[in-house]
Amino acid sequence: MDRLDNTIRPYAWGSPTAIPHLLGAEPTGEPQAEMWMGAHPGAPSRTDRGTLVEIIDADPQKELGAATVAKFGPRLPFLLKILAAGAPLSLQVHPDLAQAAAGYADEERRGIPVDAPHRNYKDANHKPELICALTEFDGLCGFRAPTHAADLLDGLGIDSLKPYVDLLHAQPEEAALREVLTALLTADREEMAHTVARAAAACDRLGGAYAPYAGIAHHYPGDPGVIAAMLLNHVRLQPGEALFLGAGIPHAYLDGLGVEIMANSDNVLRCGLTPKHVDVPELLRIVRFEPADPGVLRPEAAPDGEEVYETPIDEFRLSRYVLSPGAPAHDLTLPTPQILLCTAGTVRAGEHPLTPGTSVFVPAGHKAEVAGAGTVFRATVVV
């Protein structure tokens, strides 16, 4: 197995302290948003044998196993991250597999450079994802019932929001949500900025259920995404709890440290809370306007002490082991590729000692045992 040297991405929304504290390092004062573990070409993990991309490209069958290659092709199907949000991420959705393939082919046919600011589809893959909290973790996930969103907006006491309140009481619910989000994203920007400023002041004054939106408005003054965010469920995860985010589900992470895993894609359509391009027609085609409970996940016990976060897709499978000192080693050998990440304590994976924030890649079929006192997350695939 290979010890991984991983890239930390300094996105502006990142916390300057959370990842350094996990690693036991001194903060630099700069934001440290995500640490990537995997074979994404944008920032592949490095090993003594070369980058993980180079290792897999040299012998996919050996590194990934025949079943993984047969199902997903000669690439690692997932990307594992440590994510540290110190400010809200953009309000966004991801396409399903068919939408991603069609969108990518269309933009390729139209000759839009893959790095163009207005490009929507960077690849032809979907991007389901799972976030598991390491600390208290705040986020937005999926639409509220429209009447609940109407009550929240109405409670601000702002006349310019009354038309949206009335629309949210209309039926059917999906049409009401679509109409309101469309209206918010296509409204006159100057008028909307004034409404958002008044809404931010009201949220700050009212507190309670409004407090998250006051915080969002502080980071994105005047952005219509502040009002759009109030259409969504606010979720506060406790350590060990998780959210699964499938295609078309609007979401945003607000604050906290977590382990994130996703299909190996970079396709994002933004709804707001961003200075980046927002393609409203394409966004409205992708969003699923279905009110639903966000569905907080808790790990389910499996044999040999494994705790599994069950999801409906196969590109990744995330689980964890909470190891006790003096207990027998756990045999984690699988016919599929794995990344093992320590998030607490001190453990040993094969010959590699792991401390918080360190990780190893385990090729398919390679002997893998872990022992010690701490927590290890295991990322693999389902074949």
Q: Is 3 a catalytic residue?
A: no
Q: Are 262 and 103 in contact (CB under 8 A)?
A: no
Helix (H, G, I), strand (E, B) or coil at 62: helix
Residue for token pair 């700069």: 30
How does DSSP assign 181-213, residue by residue? Answer: HHHHHHS-HHHHHHHHHHHHHHHHHH-GGGHHH
With residue 164 as reference, give the H or E element that holds it.
helix 162-168
Q: Is the pLDDT of residue 278 over 90?
A: no
Q: Are 134 and 318 in contact (CB under 8 A)?
A: no
Confidence of residue 303 (pLDDT cuts 50, 70, 90): confident
Tokens of 271: 């709804």
Confidence of residue 271 (pLDDT cuts 50, 70, 90): confident
- Angstrom CA distances, 236 to 81, 129, 241, stand at 20, 17, 9
Catalytic residue among 46, 144, 270, 320: 270
* pTM of the model as a whole: 0.94
Burial of 111 from C-beta contacts in 10 A (0-12 / 13-18 / 19+):
exposed
Q: Is the pLDDT of residue 381 over 90?
A: yes
Convert the pLDDT of each residue in 195-215 to its tens digit.
999 999 999 999 999 999 999
Q: Are 33 and 83 in contact (CB under 8 A)?
A: yes
Tokens of 89: 């991420």
Confidence of residue 8 (pLDDT cuts 50, 70, 90): very high
Convert the pLDDT of each residue in 332-349 to its tens digit.
999 999 999 999 999 999
Q: Are 317 and 380 in contact (CB under 8 A)?
A: yes
Q: Are 101 and 208 in contact (CB under 8 A)?
A: no
Q: Are 93 and 101 in contact (CB under 8 A)?
A: no
